[in-house]
Chains A and B, each alone.
Chain A
């Protein structure tokens, strides 16, 4: 314990040193140093490191590490899920999209919300009743451990790494702009802090970082939306009227986001079922004590996330009125070359500039610090999910066949966290100048086409066999990856080919269907003895999924 404390102190001091040196460099470069933002961010980091220290003392077993001991309440978990889901990308990206395209931003955010009710009706309770630490626990419940765990861990790690790349690159660019720090410094800082939170504080620290961040983000966004609406006596009619005067009537109706029915359905499927296959989201359901708290979590999370999307819509419109055309926020250099009215830092900075317009330097600092905190919280959740796939699914279940003590497993998980953190830092620096628009889409496609079908059918389909899950899941995964590569975002935008071989941006319609058909076909044609045993084991699994009998702490025997 003594030793851990010393390492902990060393790492805190180290990260402050990194931060301080970055701050000095920031002054040397031309970026304006944002003092209120840095002060507020340091307060946030101090508070969360304090929480991490507190959580570290309570994290004594693998169960504590992976699930915060299972003692998080439904409300807290709902807030933490919202914190996990409301990334900086969705806050800045969606408000930026509303700022640019108006109504299309709303269409996009609705897609991100509608997966939640489906998770509640289909996934949340059986997941809690059957699983322990990872969704692979559920998928492999009655199937053969080794192949299913490997496939599920692969799906988890792929999703996590893709998501991490997007977050790290986003964080580097964002922090460079907001705080005047160098890109590499920002990426290293995020990586180091995330490693600290997760290795020392495990799920307990990660959860509280997410809760605090969700609260700050909702409070900040509420303030901005109210400030915007107060200008218009809380009348949406006059807000929209003023915005259309500046930007034209087209912002009030659907634009080019959803162009043809195939793309529309494909995007809808990716978003709806993708959420239900994101490992860091699924893992959150193991932090609550039972199915009742799991369902309450989704109820609160859906409320917070829906409310947040309504706020981002108002914020986007507010930015059209208060930021667009304001010379203070204009990128003059870029305007000289490209014309138009480009924003400093790009259209994703719309919400940040609006925070300055409504609340001055102090509030700009607050929103900047919240955006940074948001990135930290999201990468922590992601890394923990990736680390548990490595330690719980691959190390404990596949390599050690379940014969491993809890302390050893936790140790492996911590090592995996550090490795993933370093990988994230390297990837973040490597991908700085790359076009990474496809990575989140690909993460969702994999989640929807590999993780979700296996998980869903393992819960509800009696005839699912190991062979079916393995082949079908692999087909879904491969189809998703290949179609993204052959589609417009990679084949044309990234690889600079003339025409995409696969014409649609979103592969989910094809890859999810391929996965389900593959799983179905290879299950029903599986006539082996193990297939019969797996079918016979369904009844007991289903009873536990429905009632929680046999699950952790549900029944005293």
Chain B
């Protein structure tokens, strides 16, 4: 990539917006996923009986079952949330940056 082009894109407000928005969004979702998963696995490591608590009095189903399922669903949902926003907002910004480069 030519130096002028790098400078031009770097100073493009759309590019700056894309990078800052996407970075903070990815970072937030990554942290969310890490927190959820490490909370799950560390609960098991420190207090395994907690997830073994019955859901209700006399029930065989334990708290761990819905919690485990929720972690799986959460992983899928966060990828969906990211994909949806990236496909619209981030791609729009990217296209604007590309158009600006073409005029160059």
Contacts and interface: CB of A to CB of B under 8 A. Distances in A.
A253 B49 contact: yes
A121 B29 contact: yes
Interface in B47-65: 48-49, 51-52, 59-62, 64-65
27 contacts: A106-B64, A107-B41, A114-B37, A117-B33, A117-B75, A117-B82, A121-B27, A121-B33, A240-B60, A240-B61, A241-B60, A252-B62, A253-B51, A254-B64, A258-B45, A258-B48, A259-B45, A263-B45, A292-B87, A299-B80, A306-B75, A306-B76, A539-B6, A540-B6, A546-B22, A547-B9, A555-B102
Contacts of A116: 75, 79
Contacts of A120: 79, 82-83
B89 interface: no
A-side interface size class: 35 or more
A125 B33 CA distance: 18
A255 B52 CA distance: 10
B83 A295 contact: yes
B18 A103 contact: no
A110 B68 contact: yes
A144 interface: no
A213 B33 CA distance: 29
B96 to A, nearest CB: 10
Nearest to B26: A121
A80 B40 CA distance: 29
Interface in A532-557: 539-540, 543-544, 546-550, 554-555
Contacts of B87: 292, 295-296
Residue of A107, A113, A117, A272 contacting most chain B CB atoms (<10 Å): A117
Going nearest first, the 3 A-B pairs with the smallest beta carbon separation are A253-B52, A264-B45, A121-B26
Interface string B71-104: 1110110111011001100010010011001100
Contacts of A113: 72, 75
A549 B29 contact: no
B79 A548 contact: no
Nearest to B7: A539
A310 B22 CA distance: 31
Contacts of A546: 15, 18-19, 22, 94
Nearest to B68: A106
Contact of A550 (B1, B10, B34, B49): B1
B67 to A, nearest CB: 10
B61 A236 contact: yes
Interface of B: 1, 6, 9-10, 15, 18-19, 22, 26-27, 29-30, 33-34, 37-38, 40-42, 44-46, 48-49, 51-52, 59-62, 64-65, 68-69, 71-73, 75-76, 78-80, 82-83, 86-87, 91, 94, 97-98, 101-102
B15 A547 contact: yes
Contact of A117 (B42, B61, B78): B78
Nearest to B54: A252
A237 interface: yes
B45 A260 contact: yes
Interface of A: 103, 106-107, 110-111, 113-114, 116-118, 120-122, 125, 236-237, 240-241, 244, 249, 252-255, 258-261, 263-265, 267-268, 272, 291-292, 295-296, 298-299, 302-303, 306, 309-310, 539-540, 543-544, 546-550, 554-555
A291 B71 CA distance: 26
Contact of A543 (B1, B41, B69): B1
Contacts of B91: 292
A89 to B, nearest CB: 19
Contacts of B44: 107, 254, 258, 264
B6 to A, nearest CB: 5
Contacts of B82: 117, 120-121, 295
A255 B62 CA distance: 13
Contacts of A303: 76, 79
Nearest to B18: A546
Given A116-B79, A117-B29, A549 B9 contact: yes
A509 to B, nearest CB: 12
B37 A110 contact: yes
B68 A103 contact: yes
Contacts of A111: 41
Contacts of A306: 72-73, 75-76
A240 B61 CA distance: 7
A547 B9 CA distance: 10
Contact of A122 (B30, B37, B94): B30
A116 B83 CA distance: 13
Nearest to A249: B60
Contacts of B102: 555
A309 B72 CA distance: 9
A114 B65 contact: no
Contacts of A295: 82-83, 86-87
Given A240-B65, A292-B91, A555-B101, A310 B72 contact: yes
Contacts of A125: 86
B83 A265 contact: no
Contacts of A237: 59-61
Contact of B61 (A121, A252, A548, A550): A252
Contact of B42 (A114, A261, A540): A261
Nearest to A245: B60
A258 B42 CA distance: 9
A512 to B, nearest CB: 14
A245 to B, nearest CB: 9
Contacts of B10: 539, 543
A103 B64 contact: yes
